[in-house]
Structure 1
Amino acid sequence: MSKRKALKRRHKIIERKAGAKPGSLYVPSSALQPRFFLVSFSETFYDEKELENYGQLLKSVKERPDAKHWIDIRGYGDLSLLEHLTKDFGLHPLQVEDVINDYQRPKVEEFSDDRLFIITRMLNWSDTLQTIDDDQLSLFTGPNYILTLQSDYEDCLDPLRERIRQGKGLIRHRPVIYTAYAMLDVVYDFYFPVMGDISNYIDELEHKVLVAPSRRILAQILNLKGELIKLRRIIWPERDNLNELLRMDENLVPENMKVYFRDAYDHVVQLIDLVDSHKDMTSSLVELYMSTVGNRMNEIMKVLTIISTIFIPLSFIVGLYGMNFAHENPETGKVFPMSMPELYQPYGYPILLGLMLVLVLFQLYFFYRKGWFRSL
């Protein structure tokens, strides 16, 4: 994914007129033109195809009332399509509005005696920006169909399509609610690689902090912390969704299906634990950064202190002999016994330089014995 596209997906703008009537439908300017996919299956039957328009899709569904259908619509840049979906599948305009809004909090709603409306979010880690890309997946369950709508042409549900294609597992033998569970399960399964990528990124940031801490790295740590907060806001409602599904009546979620949703619930709880763990690790990275910067500053101050300590006695000697008090009075010739006779020594200058060199070497040896150079 290009950096420009990643930025565009990251900064989503809700194009809704303030004060509009609740349930009013609109088409965002960035919405893709819809593509129509249909997967029809039963225990002995399977058919998968992409259709040219909504009319062909609806006709294919009605032709096989005995089969289960996965109606997959990707992109909703067509207002008439939204109106037909609302009418033909008995959807509430407020629910369709939530679908188009495309950044809804994950939730589950019962909108008739045997139908559910579920919103979940598909995640992907962007290596370009080191951020989380999340896309909304909206599900409507019916007597013999499940309707999914999403804003993009790509999703994470290919493993589920392949399982239906190959007839693996129980999905062809179970009711439509099992298909809804299978979709949620695949979505949650893709959360774990995202967690792995975040864990690797945390390890990379930790290495950078220890080797060469900088403000840029600190900004990356704080950005990651914000992404984890966003991720936590996504995953916690998913747990509430599953709790709601587990408490629903038998006609919506049969008792023999609840064991699967309990398994999905366990996965989400594990994901929440991982998010909290990564968040704590990110907070520790900030503390590690501050500690590393402080230690580096202490090392710099230590070097400067050693240099200053070496030059203090040298500066004292130079300053002392820079006073130049006369040895005798030039007018009377009287000798002053408390003056500086060393000024007239023929080898005074090299002797003084040697003395200063010996003093420096002595200090270096003293600092070495004290262990001041071991951490530099």
Structure 2
Amino acid sequence: MSDREAILQARHQTETLGKRPGALVIREGALQPRLFMISYDANTLIEKEYATYDELWDSFQGRPDLRHWVDVRGYGNLELMERIMRDFGLHPLQMEDVLGDYQRAKVDVFDDNRLFMVSRMTDFTSSLEIDDDQLSLFTGPNYVLSFQDDYEDCLDSLRNRLRSNFSQMKRKPSLYLAYALTDVVIDHYFPTMAAIGDYLEGLEERIFSERRERRMLNRILRIKKDIVRFRRLVYPERDKISEILRMPDEVMPEDIKVFFKDAYDHAMQALDLAESYRENITSLTELFLSDQSNRMNEVMKVLTIISAIFIPLSFVAGVYGMNFQREAPPAGANPLNMPELYQPWGYPAVLSLMALMVIGQLFYFWRKGWMTKQR
């Protein structure tokens, strides 16, 4: 969820404060609904976008022998949402969860062993954020009713499978379509994680070349937040499928549970990847801080060497800068004061001595290996 979506969600929750349970409220910024339906059996496929709900409903009721995937994209029409709720016999509390548009992944059983399922579809955007949208599913004897708030989704691969003449989905019950939708959502977690993994590799390479430490640290912390958020999305998905696998056979037949077991394995793999990336980002943070510490040590080493060179030079310069008089009339010369002040080569001799001291120190530092840059 982007920052703007989070703000809209917070406003929607504020608008529902004090309202009765099951009251339907359309959140600000919701898109106008677009209505799609795919009707199919082993030998038939009818796919169409409907201009009006009446046209869709007539087509749905006119083909009771086919299975149907009714796909509603956009929630911005309260009257239409209420009609769909009445016609398909949906519970107001479940419809409230649909329109709330930010529910954790879950599954509920309602009248006649029908299911209400929520999944989170994810994508890693170019702005380095995990964008997630809610997919709500209702199952019926010969249909799956889906709701989503956006016109674009990750379900095109499933639509292409239905269009194929060899798809086994067209020969299976509608519960299999609900499984297939859930499986596509889970499978789409892996491209998201792959994009995050590529970005982490790029960050690791840039740690040793990036000079703007604050920008690099911000990137690390931002991707860390995305990984934590991704884990929060996948955990409920795993728990949802686990709950489906524990349902009695009259709700979820055993031949469909077999496929959900495969989806459960995919969810576990996504979680393992998320855990691995969380460990990677922790190591990356430690690597970044260690590199910054090493750079600081390099700076301190250079400053220490410079200080070590100038300390004896400052001592020599300080001694010869005391300006004690050599001559002390009328008693004559002071034998204990500096005779070098009056030697013709005194000044060059002191400068030469100071140069030899610098050369000697540099040679000593080099022999000790202090002059080489640590890698």
**Fold shared by both chains (TM-score > 0.5):** yes
Whole-Å Cα distance in 1 between the matches of residues 321 and 88 of structure 2? 101
Distance across 2 between alignment mates of 1:230 and 1:282:
14
Q: How does 1:151-166 map to 2 (within 5 A)?
A: 151-166=149-164
CA displacement 1:2-54 (0-9 Å, x = unmatched):
xxx96534644241331110000122221111111010000011110011111
Q: Which residue of 2 aligns with 1:23?
A: 22
Matches for 1:206-221 after TM superposition, within 5 Å: 206-212=204-210, 214-221=213-220
How many percent of aligned residue pairs carry the same amino acid? 50
Structure 2 residue 337 is matched with structure 1 residue 339: yes
C-alpha displacement of 1:304 = 0.4
* 2:8 and 2:27 in contact (8 A); partners too: no
Answer with 204-213 or 342-351: which moved more: 204-213
CA distance in 1 between counterparts of 2:227 and 2:111 reads 36
Consecutive unaligned residues of structure 2, counting only runs of 5 or more, are: none
User: Aligned equivalents of 1:370 and 1:168: distance in 2?
Assistant: 75
Q: Kindly provide the amino acid, as one letter, of the partner of residue 191 in structure 2.
A: P
Q: Corresponding residue for 1:237?
A: 236
Offset of 1:229 from its aligned partner?
A: 1.5
Alignment-derived partner of residue 8 in structure 1: 4
In 1, the alpha carbon distance for the partners of 2:135 and 2:20 equals: 24
Q: Which moved more, 1:47-56 or 1:196-205?
A: 196-205
Query: Structure 1 residues 200, 78: closer, same or farther in 2, change over 3 A?
Result: same
Question: 2:265 matched to 1:266?
Answer: yes
**Structure 1 residue runs without a partner (length 5+):** none
Task: Verify the 8 A CA contact 1:157 1:186 in the aligned structure 2.
Answer: yes
Q: Which residue is 1:140 aligned to?
A: 138
What are the superposed Cα offsets for residues 261-307 of structure 1, whole Å, 9 maximum, x if unpaired?
01100000011111111111111222122211111111111000000
Residue of structure 1 in register with 2:74 after alignment: 75
CA separation in 2, counterparts of 1:269 and 1:10?
27
CA distance in 2, matches of 1:34, 1:142: 21
Counterparts of 1:293-304 in structure 2, within 5 Å, are 293-304=292-303
The answer as to whether partners of 2:40 and 2:68 remain within 8 angstroms in 1 is yes
Partners of 1:119 and 1:131 lie apart in 2 by 22
Distance in 1, matches of 2:93 and 2:82, equals: 12
| Residue of structure 2 in register with 1:352 after alignment | 350
Equivalent pair of 1:113/1:251 in contact (CA under 8 Å): no
Structure 1 partner of 2:114 = 115
Q: How many residues are matched?
A: 370
**Runs of 4+ displaced beyond 4 Å:** none
TM-score by length of 1: 0.95
Letter of the 2:42 counterpart: E
Corresponding position: 1:186 with 2:184: yes
**More displaced 10-residue stretch of structure 1: 213-222 or 340-349:** 213-222
| 1:10–1:133 contact (8 Å) kept in structure 2 | no
Q: What does residue 169 of structure 1 align with?
A: 167
CA RMSD of aligned residues (A): 1.5
**Equivalent residue for 2:102?**
103
